[in-house]
Amino acid sequence: MMWKHTQNIRRAAEAPFAFLVILILWEYGAGFIGVPEYILPVPTDIVGKFWQTLTIQAHHLGVTAATTMIGLAMALLIGVLLAMSVLYIRPMKAIVLPILAAFNSIPKIAIAPLFVIWFGLGVEPKILLAFLLGLFPVFVNSITGLGEIEPDVLDLARLAGGNELRIFTKVRLMNAVPYITDAIKVAFPLALVGSIVGEFIGGNNGVGYLILSGQFNMDTPLVFATLLSITLFTTVVIGLVVFLERVLLKWRPSRRKR
């Protein structure tokens, strides 16, 4: 017990410790070698800049977070609905699957400028990009989660009088939960990329825009401070997903208790 306990503490402390070492090396090493600030600002400069630009950061991060989360929510909704249509409407499988597969092979980033032409410089093209990038992983995982049910389970459900609605809500959807939380972990970073790329190519809002303006002014500390904002955002969201998994998937055999 004692041994296991100290081992756990050690393991928990390892990552922050390594991180701290890197930060210290970065802080003093960069100055020692003489790397100029516009190439690589040191951590204290970045944090200083972050603090200085806090309200600007909050504003732009807020915009990016909103477009990302709206795009992700749409990807979740449409992804699950598309998977359902493929599952329940036979001809849909022949239509939806090839279209989506073909569409997925187009690099969405390459067609992003089109969206600016079509939808302007507002939030719409950003949301659309976030949605399109997040859609495929949600769709694929939903198909597996909703569709791959043990035949014996379906037999027992039907014998007990289960209609398709009850089988959907009490068997398929429940089976899909871990697949969908897994999909969110992939789709969220993709949706964020969609938003930021959208901000790169048009408009004057969002962290993508802030990074670009940092680049124009050779304000490298601003670029890094914005990266710090983005990191804080992704950490919070991934933390939320992990928390959600803890709550929804408490029935899973836990790896820690083994």
**28 versus 243: smaller Cβ distance to other proteins:** 243
Q: Are 181 and 93 in contact (CB under 8 A)?
A: no
- Tracing tokens 């600016």 back to the chain, one arrives at 116
Candidates 17-25, 31-39, 122-130, 169-177; binding stretch for other proteins (CB under 8 A): 169-177
C-beta neighbour count of 131 within 10 angstroms: 27
Q: Are 57 and 210 in contact (CB under 8 A)?
A: yes
Report in angstroms how near the CB of residue 160 gets to other proteins at its nearest: 4
Residue 188 and residue 35: Cα distance in Å, rounded? 35
Query: Amino acid letter at 143?
Result: I
Helix (H) / strand (E) element for 69: namely helix 54-88
Per CB under 8 A, the list member of 177, 186, 201, 228 interacting with other proteins is: 177
Per CB under 8 A, the list member of 3, 32, 216, 251 interacting with other proteins is: 251
Candidates 100-108, 114-122, 133-141, 246-254; binding stretch for other proteins (CB under 8 A): 246-254
Give the tokens for residue 136.
């495929």
What are the C-alpha distances in Å from 108 to residues 102, 162, 177? 12, 42, 27
Candidates 19-27, 66-74, 182-190, 247-255; binding stretch for other proteins (CB under 8 A): 247-255
Per CB under 8 A, the list member of 56, 100, 121, 174 interacting with other proteins is: 174
Binding string, 9-28, against other proteins, x = CB under 8 A?
--------------------
Restricting to residues 109-168, name those near other proteins by CB under 8 A.
Answer: 150, 152-153, 155-163, 166-167
The reply to whether 253 sits near other proteins by the rule CB under 8 A is yes
- Tracing tokens 């035949």 back to the chain, one arrives at 151
- Secondary structure of residue 219 in the 3-state scheme: coil
**48 versus 162: smaller Cβ distance to other proteins:** 162
Total residues interacting with other proteins, rule: CB under 8 A = 23
Report in angstroms how near the CB of residue 163 gets to other proteins at its nearest: 8
CA-nearest of 201, 89, 71, 200 to 136 is: 71
Candidates 17-25, 39-47, 172-180, 199-207; binding stretch for other proteins (CB under 8 A): 172-180
The reply to whether 87 sits near other proteins by the rule CB under 8 A is no
The reply to whether 32 sits near other proteins by the rule CB under 8 A is no
Q: Which residues contact 214 (CB under 8 A, 6 or more apart)?
A: 220, 221, 222, 223, 226
**9 versus 152: smaller Cβ distance to other proteins:** 152
Residue 53 and residue 224: Cα distance in Å, rounded? 12
| Residues found near other proteins in the complex (CB under 8 A) | 150, 152-153, 155-163, 166-167, 170-171, 174-175, 177, 249, 251-253
